[in-house]
Structure 1
């Protein structure tokens, strides 16, 4: 049984004070609930949010384990067309959440995404009168109090100056890259990486890859690209970030260079990690990419036509629906009790789960002769009917 292309719910909201627009798309419900973060960026569109919501449906299906406590949810996404640095941004966020309160209370679990931190979402949700940004899932829990405490405890864990909640997604991205290297027989030492974005996902990815022995030779933020062919000091850059992932250039060493913002694309590196905005790689700028792998830490960073061109010249794109799915899965693994509030357990479970998923996707791609993205979509197509048979179709 094929899934209809149209989402279950799609709506547009206009802020009565500023005129900024916001969007909510619920692609699918499973047991009456959907999951997907809320992003805030200037230029955010309904089409963008629709694509992200469909991607969340796939991420949930990809992590479905019939033996686990984690119950897969449907996919959803929220978006606000506003610069998160604008003076009015927080007020817009509060009013958006207030307007979406009926959905968040009953159908949509959400959290941080591009432009927002979980602390900010939690603060705004409280001001909007919500119990929690994920309260819709509470009726599905066996022991709500214990589950909420477990997740709250996990959010207090700090690992070398960075919260566990900010690290698990990048742990998954890094594991995806390492799995690709292992399958290709490429050693970690000496393998070069370029990262676009040093926010939550990009920063954590850079840390885990550097600690695995890879050399991070370029990192881009809104000010430009920082580069060093011998490798940047990732920990120093992470410590010098502001809340939006912008690095204080005083942290750069004498051998580090400052280059234009798009220089990360053409960096001499084997692995390219777009970890910031959607649509960063298009048909034109893909021509400058010399990397062997593009690992999609951001949501939808490579346009379809660009991926076709990259594939044609031997560049492998590891798709976002698999690569960056670790954060969402970690929330639910912790809440439902598959793992406890423990960093080592979280990292081990994330690595094991992501490694199995990446290996399955790449093996299928090789066997069928398709792209990794097509293979991932094939896995989703296999799993969605199984989930629907267990929980029912809500379309």
Structure 2
């Protein structure tokens, strides 16, 4: 992969002075895929790294027999606190400014700080047909495909939308594959999750339902800890739109600890599912977990990962672990699965078993880290995709 993206666009909001970015790392059949995040401090370099990661995620899900043809990778980012009163106006103006790209080459959706409902509402106000309209010309039957995706978004499973579950299921399945290969029993395995938004909340649900014990979850207000296990479903039901848990839902045995306590909790599995760059050289030494599953994008810095590996900690990389939200959109839209929760869950589980298993096999064979193995798989698949569909 070239370190230089295909296209980079910087934007300044004329009303607030807020900055935004769009990076298209690669195109396949003229289109790239990648969400739009909003957070205070979001930078162009961060967005470029995320766009490169999207290229990898797309390539890893390439199946020559599937209807879904992987797209290129892209990402958008806005430097603004999503809780700010001015955030929605900034979002609408950003989408209006990026409208030519969204109409032609960039399919986008929710990411950190934004929900899909909010993106859809802002996109409509910005004059867009859809945040994924650039992919419509690639569909065999646009009307049927759009209805299938809309029907899928309308599905709820135990009070949570299907679209908000598939990504976390992919993370949870990645953890289960790693545990199974290590011969680790699920029952009694403890988990600490940073972030109770879409990805972290769903991950916590599926790991708890698989028999693991979720002993800590963190949000912007702090970390909630219970060594005997938290009531994950009660905490999910007590979240607001930003993933903050109402502390009135806590049980007598639940403790309130500082925001960074999730990092050092006694647990075998750590799931950073909130911000990028959460684990660096300065705090990695506090980690006692055996596995880290990157539910967030780029949460573990390279120098931290190197130090963790030296201590026997395995990092399951984001480009594999959190790739299923994106893949589910396209499996559904292109018609590889119907608007059905069981089909979606089955496809996610099978895909992640194959991907994570293949990555761990490659790492063992090459004597490298799981991340290096994932990158090697991408390097093999990208030329195959380019040969079949061209470089742009």
Query: What TM-score, normalized by structure 1, do the two folds share?
Result: 0.99
In structure 2, the residue matched to 1:247 is: 245
In structure 1, the residue matched to 2:176 is: 178
C-alpha distance in 1 between matches for 2:257 and 2:391:
51
In structure 2, the residue matched to 1:371 is: 369
C-alpha distance in 1 between matches for 2:135 and 2:235:
37
In structure 2, the residue matched to 1:146 is: 144
In structure 2, the residue matched to 1:117 is: 115
Query: What TM-score, normalized by structure 2, do the two folds share?
Result: 1.00
In structure 2, the residue matched to 1:95 is: 93
Aligned partner of 1:21 among 11, 19, 38:
19
C-alpha distance in 2 between matches for 1:155 and 1:333:
13
C-alpha distance in 2 between matches for 1:84 and 1:256:
29
What is the count of residue pairs matched by the alignment?
A: 392
Please list every run of at least 4 consecutive aligned residues from structure 1 whose deviation after the TM superposition is greater than 4 angstroms.
none
C-alpha distance in 2 between matches for 1:122 and 1:336:
20
Secondary structure of 1:353's aligned partner: helix
> What pairs up with 1:220-299 in 2 under 5 angstroms?
220-299=218-297
In structure 2, the residue matched to 1:40 is: 38
Cα deviations across residues 40-60 of structure 1 (Å, max 9, x unaligned)? 000000000000000000000
In structure 1, the residue matched to 2:70 is: 72
C-alpha distance in 2 between matches for 1:166 and 1:391:
31
Secondary structure of 1:87's aligned partner: coil
- Deviation of 1:4 after TM superposition, in Å, equals 2.2
- Deviation of 1:275 after TM superposition, in Å, equals 0.1
- Deviation of 1:5 after TM superposition, in Å, equals 1.6
- Deviation of 1:100 after TM superposition, in Å, equals 0.1
In structure 2, the residue matched to 1:192 is: 190
Cα deviations across residues 183-228 of structure 1 (Å, max 9, x unaligned)? 0000110000000000000000000000000000000000000000
C-alpha distance in 2 between matches for 1:11 and 1:239:
39
Cα deviations across residues 127-180 of structure 1 (Å, max 9, x unaligned)? 000000000000000000000000000000000000000000000000000000
Secondary structure of 1:18's aligned partner: coil
Aligned partner of 1:317 among 315, 318, 330:
315
Secondary structure of 2:165's aligned partner: helix
Gaps of 5+ in 2: none
C-alpha distance in 1 between matches for 2:202 and 2:391:
36
Cα deviations across residues 43-81 of structure 1 (Å, max 9, x unaligned)? 000000000000000000000000000011000000000
Q: Does 1:5 align with 2:24?
A: no
Aligned partner of 2:134 among 133, 136, 142:
136
Secondary structure of 2:173's aligned partner: helix
Secondary structure of 1:4's aligned partner: coil
- Deviation of 1:393 after TM superposition, in Å, equals 1.1
Secondary structure of 1:17's aligned partner: coil
In structure 2, the residue matched to 1:328 is: 326
